[in-house]
Amino acid sequence: MGKGQHKMPTKEELLEKYNRINKIKQVRENRFLQSSNLNCIALCEVITSKDLQKHGNIWVCPIPDHVCTRFLFVYENGQIGDVHINTQEATIQREILQVIASKPS
């Protein structure tokens, strides 16, 4: 059992390791989004090409360079709006296009 050499870390190596871990914990405590339950939805712009495929209501673009994320919506603690929303509906698509076209104040 345990062939080879086993090196015990020095006191300095242990202090360095655990100080780094403590700093990581502090960064997590000071982050903007506090919840460990996060949900994200990306609104992406996709270049129309022959590679773009539709499977039901799901679009697949196998070429990453043809996809550009325009908005990333992040929700904490599962507080997402209507999870049954159909983004293929004309009214929803109009709202999305209005938001994209609007300029920030």
Does residue 74 lie in a domain region?
Answer: yes
Does residue 27 lie in a domain region?
Answer: no
pLDDT over 50 at 1, yes or no = no
Does residue 6 lie in a domain region?
Answer: no
| Stretch 55-77: mean pLDDT | 87
Structural domains counted in the chain: 1
Q: Are 46 and 52 in contact (CB under 8 A)?
A: yes
Does residue 58 lie in a domain region?
Answer: yes
* Separation between Cα atoms, residue 4 and residue 90, nearest integer Å: 68
How confident is the model at residue 8, as a pLDDT? 73
pLDDT tens profile 15-48: 777 776 666 555 555 566 667 777 788 889 998 8
